[in-house]
Amino acid sequence: MTSYHAPVLPREVLEVLEPRPGRRFADGTLGGGGHTIALLEAGAEVLGIDRDPEALAAASVRCASFPGHFRARHGNFAEITALVRGAGWETVDGVLLDIGVSSRQLDAPERGFSFQGEGPLDMRMDPSSGFTAADVVNTYPEDALKRILRDFGEEKFAGRIARALVGERQRRPLTTTRELAALVERVYPGHSKRHPATRTFQAIRMEVNAELASLEHGLEGATQLLRPGGRLAVITFHSLEDRIVKNFFRDRSQRWIDRPEWPAPRPNPDFRFDPIGRKPVEAGEEEVRANPRARSAKLRWGQRGAEGA
C-alpha cells in the first residue's frame, strides 16, 4: 500500500488554530491524518471526517494512540455541520479543510485519479458513490464536456478535447486512464512542461466529486460550527478553490457594505469574521524542497467574530 505523504503547512496550521488541551477541532479532510495528529499531540480533541473510507481507516489506526481525544466520521465535509453535531459537539474551536485530491489517491492506480499509471476511469473520492469519470467522458454531451474542461480545468483547448472525446466514444467507450490521457495527448497542439492531460483529469475529477460545490457548502457549515473566537483554516492547491475561499472570507469580514445608490453604508448581513490579512500563507523554500506538493498550497483563515450572527 502506498503511504500517505507529509501534510502541507503543518507549522502554519498549528499557529493559526492554536490547539491545546480542552479545545475541540473538526478536520473536515482527514486524509492521512497528518494535521490531526499534530492537533492531538498539542492536547486537543479532534473529530476527523473524510469521504474516502480507506483514508478514514488508515488515519484511525495512526490516531489510535490518542484514546478519548480522536473520533472519526465517514462523510463529505460539505455536510460538516450535521456530521459534527451528530457526534455530539454543538460548537468547535476550529475547523481545518485541506482541499483537493490526496497524494495517496493520486499514487493508487486502481483509484483512477492519475494518468501516470494504468487504471479504471474512476476518480471517486468516495468509492461507495455510483458516479465515475467513465460516466462523464462516455455520456456527457459535447457542450457539457467543453464547459467542464473550460470551467474546472481552465483548459484553453476544451473544445478540441471535447470533440475528440465524443468522436472516440462513438467507436468504443473509454475505460482506462491511459486511454483518456493518450487521446488528449494526441489532439493537443504543441508542447508544454506539464502533461497535456493534466487539466483534463483535474476537471473531470472535480466534476465527479462536485468539489467546488462541496467547498462552498463546507465553508458555510464550518462557520456555523465555530464558537465566537473560533478559527477556520482552509488550504487550497489551485486558483479556482483559492478564489472561492478568498471571496468567502472577504465578503464575511466586512462589517459594513456600501453602494453608490445608498445614502449611507449599511450593516453587512453576512458579517461573520473579524477582519484579517488578505494575503494567503504559503510554504517556505525548505518545506517545498522536502515536499514539492506544498509549492502550490495556500492557507487562508478567519476568526469568528463575537458579533457575527
What's the CATH number where 50 sits? 3.40.50.150
Phi-psi map region of 49: left, alpha, beta (phi>0 left; psi -120 to 50 alpha): beta
pLDDT at 247: 95
DSSP-H helix ranges across the chain: 10-17, 34-41, 53-62, 80-86, 103-107, 133-139, 142-153, 158-171, 177-187, 198-208, 211-225, 239-252, 285-290
8 Å CB contact between 160 and 185 = no
Give the number of C-alpha atoms closer than 13 A to the C-alpha of residue 282, restricted to the C-beta side.
11
The total number of structural domains that make up the chain:
2
84 in a domain, yes or no?
Answer: yes
Choose among 173, 106, 83, 95: nearest CA to 134.
173
Q: What is the pTM of this model?
A: 0.92
141 in a domain, yes or no?
Answer: yes
Q: Which residue has the cell 456600501?
A: 258
pLDDT at 66: 95
Pick the last residue of a domain from 157, 179, 208.
208
Choose among 297, 278, 301, 308: nearest CA to 232.
301
Quote the cell numbers at residue 86. 451528530
CATH number at residue 198: 1.10.150.170
Angle among Cα 226, 232, 235 to the nearest 5 degrees reads 155
98 and 245 fall within a common domain:
yes
Choose among 168, 132, 163, 130: nearest CA to 145.
163
8 Å CB contact between 186 and 142 = no
Neighbours of 282 (CB within 10 A): 16
- For the chain, the residue count is 309
Pick the last residue of a domain from 178, 208, 238.
208
Q: Which residue has the cell 450572527?
A: 309
263 in a domain, yes or no?
Answer: yes
pLDDT at 103: 75
Helix, coil or strand: residue 234: strand
CA distances from 245 to 29, 99, 252, 298 (A): 16, 11, 11, 10
8 Å CB contact between 80 and 49 = yes
120 in a domain, yes or no?
Answer: no
How many secondary structure helices (H) and strands (E) does the chain include?
Answer: 13, 10
Across the chain, which has 309 residues, the per-10-residue mean pLDDT values are 72 96 97 94 97 92 94 96 97 95 80 90 92 96 98 96 97 96 92 87 96 96 96 95 95 91 92 85 93 92 78
117 in a domain, yes or no?
Answer: no
Pick the last residue of a domain from 146, 177, 208.
208
CA gyration radius, the chain:
21
Question: What residues contact 136, with CB distance under 8 A and at least 6 apart?
Answer: 145, 148, 204, 207, 208
pLDDT at 2: 45
pLDDT at 1: 41
Domain span at residue 276 reads 10-104+211-304
8 Å CB contact between 80 and 51 = no
